[in-house]
A and B are shown apart, each in its own frame.
Chain A
Amino acid sequence: MKYVLLICTPVGGEELSPAEIADDPRFTSYIEEVRGRDLMRGGARLRPSSDATTVRVQGDEVLLSDGPFVESKEYVAGIDIIEVADLDEAISLASRHPAALAGGSVEVRPVWE
């Protein structure tokens, strides 16, 4: 089954760039495992929510607002698309994600196929 892991980190927490992540030993061991087992089907590191723009349309009018569509204590810092046997495997992977270990959270969402 395919799952998307929404990697959420606390607002105001550390914001590692993709280059920094690539050099961070916490991430490299995780990434190696995921690649080694060929579980990764895609993903992206997202810039912080302060760089977000939210678009809404009301009638003919396009409304823009700065920031994410909901203000919260955590924001989506990245997504991983994985393919594993079942939810337990997805949970096990999510529970070892460096962001989860560093006080963030990971929302596990099955892909609607």
Chain B
Amino acid sequence: MPDVEEAVAAAFREEWGQVVATLIRVTGDWDLAEECAQDAFAQALDRWRRDGIPRRPGAWLTTTARNRALDVLRREAVGAAKLREAAVLGRDEGPYDPEYDGDDSGVEDDRLRLLFTCCHPALPIEARVALTLRTLAGLTTPEIARAFLVPEATMAQRLVRAKKKIRNAGIPYRVPPAHLLPERTTGVLGVVYLLFNEGYAATSGADLVRTNLCAEAIRLARVLARLMPDEPEVLGLLALLLLHDARRGTRVDADGELVTLEDQDRTAWDQLEIDEGAALLETALRRGRPGPYQIQAAIAACHTTAPTAADTDWADIAGLYGELERFVPSAVVRLNRAVAVGMAEHPDAGLELVAELERSGELADYHLLPATRADLLRRSGRTAEAAEAYGRALELVENAAERRFLERRLAGLRPGG
């Protein structure tokens, strides 16, 4: 019966994180939680074939996993205290009722609890990302290792260490209290954004696991947006990811070469994602509490809603970068603003801002600084200076696709090129 296999696969995508999150709360044991969740999914294949697919697969899986955990704990004398706790918690939630179709908010809180714990700032950033993918998204260790281009053993060790630190250092399993929430939410959003970028940056050779990271990040952002609907930055992040993702397929051509925003095939952009992102952004902005993700989403929306590259409202974008600078006072943001100003007014206005950045020495080794200067000089018709700047950018660039792009631009400057 292929539909049972499909149902289990769908339940895995939808429910894995929730089952693990609840089991961690009930048992306090991360490894046991994962084991029992795996076991429940394995049982589902047999039992659903025999008894039919339950109306609420998530509740069935959670109950099955919890019963399994109780069995394991019962057999361990050590587990006596945990067992009492688990039994009490189990009773509170009541037995699995196939007819029950009510509120799931308690269950969703568990996922949020899990996400905040995985993203605790006391864990190394790579571990936060890996742990989120493993426990909440259900990716396997080899999959995560491939996605981050590290050996499997390294990734396995990273996960073990992180779980050990959670236990040994006493990292609490909870959504932080109100006074910590804003800063911790920022941390969680940062992990989800990093996850997305990790997949987005995968250009040529488009490894499926890596592009899959984009989908996982969007899924997590959706969960967050559902759980924290009043946080405009959460909606802003989801909007930003959708607006970026809408263009993902057009960023490289068939040969794996970079295609700039200007030259991307706008008809191939994902209109559904653009519409959803724009609507989310509007909802977020109506709250009147702007933040860096909302502003970045607004910038992305300026690009995705322009019918042609020439229609892009660069003045609007320059203003938005100025606003972003207030939240994220970084040289990279100033560089982006220089591009927008150069496009909105005249390349020379952008070049002035670039020169300011060069004098500050902040981005001395960043290839996009000379590359930006080169592009503005090119647009200004100052070919010889542009060539020199491209040369400098080529000395600094590391990524192969970006290098080829700069080389093509440099070649394009020559007469007949």
Residues of A in contact with B (beta carbons under 8 Å apart)? 1, 3, 85-88, 90-91, 108, 110, 112
Contacts and interface: CB of A to CB of B under 8 A. Distances in A.
A1 B166 CA distance: 13
Interface string B170-187: 111000100010000000
Interface string B159-171: 0000000001111
A85 B168 contact: no
Query: Which of A86, A87, A91 lies at the interface centre, i.e. has the most chain B CB atoms within 10 A of its CB?
Result: A87
Contacts of B120: 87
Nearest to A92: B180
A110 B172 contact: no
B208 to A, nearest CB: 37
B170 to A, nearest CB: 4
Interface string B133-170: 00000000000000000000000000000000000111
Contacts of A86: 170-172
A110 B122 contact: no
A90 B120 CA distance: 14
Given A85-B172, A86-B172, 7 more contacts: A3-B170, A87-B169, A87-B170, A87-B171, A87-B172, A91-B122, A110-B170
B24 to A, nearest CB: 15
Given A88-B176, A88-B180, A1 B122 contact: no
Nearest to A85: B172
Contacts of A87: 120, 122, 169-172
Nearest to A109: B169
Contact of A90 (B168, B170, B176): B170
A89 B170 CA distance: 10
Interface of B: 120, 122, 168-172, 176, 180
Contacts of B171: 86-88
A91 B170 CA distance: 11
Contacts of B168: 110, 112
Query: Which of B122, B169, B180 lies at the interface centre, i.e. has the most chain A CB atoms within 10 A of its CB?
Result: B169
A1 B172 CA distance: 11
A91 B122 CA distance: 10
B123 to A, nearest CB: 10
A1 B170 CA distance: 7
A39 to B, nearest CB: 14
A96 B171 CA distance: 19
A91 B168 CA distance: 15
Contacts of B172: 85-88
B275 to A, nearest CB: 40
Nearest to A2: B170
List the 10 closest pairs (A to B, CB-CB), nearest first: A86-B172, A1-B170, A86-B170, A87-B170, A87-B171, A110-B169, A87-B169, A88-B172, A110-B168, A110-B170
A1 B176 CA distance: 18
21 contacts: A1-B170, A3-B170, A85-B170, A85-B172, A86-B170, A86-B172, A87-B120, A87-B169, A87-B171, A87-B172, A88-B171, A88-B172, A88-B176, A88-B180, A90-B170, A91-B122, A108-B169, A110-B168, A110-B169, A110-B170, A112-B168
Contacts of A88: 171-172, 176, 180
B129 to A, nearest CB: 20
A40 B227 CA distance: 38
Contacts of A85: 170, 172
Nearest to B173: A86
Contacts of A91: 122
Nearest to B168: A110
A108 B171 CA distance: 12
Nearest to A112: B168
Nearest to A90: B170
A14 B77 CA distance: 53
Contacts of B170: 1, 3, 85-87, 90, 110
A69 to B, nearest CB: 24
Contacts of A110: 168-170
B393 to A, nearest CB: 36
